[in-house]
Chain A
């Protein structure tokens, strides 16, 4: 993937995570249901939370490392 697309992916994970934990989607996960005895809402919030973390782990590895490596091509005109 290109540099721009990786950054785009990072933006998506952040924004999608935001949307997912905000009311409309949060209410979708509500209701009176339980999952293994635990309310679905709690399971949902923690699942989204952990998914965001997984996304962050993956992206942290691929987001550009543009630290102290200025473009030093060896073909400068002399």
Chain B
């Protein structure tokens, strides 16, 4: 029961918007809202792309990203990091931790869709 995209985000309205846009683009989508649920969800649902918010309750997105990269099974999962802090520093940290893409909120829906598409295509090729 593999899905295309797992969204890790805690703002209900943002989840709703992402869910709508990504489903409209033709992908299957699931959502987690808390940081410590992500790893589990990734293992069980094996998404092809993870949309990861940085400011998550219980465990920060960066911490989760580090764990994902450390785990052999999930190490190659394409991760798109979303952040509302919009600081240069966050982008650097994300890159250092091995994020595949980085988008600052507020984003345009088209950007998210096209980035996710690129990541999905990348993952099918390998």
Direct contact of A and B (CB under 8 A): no
- Residues of A with Cβ closer than 8 Å to B? none
- Residues of B with Cβ closer than 8 Å to A? none
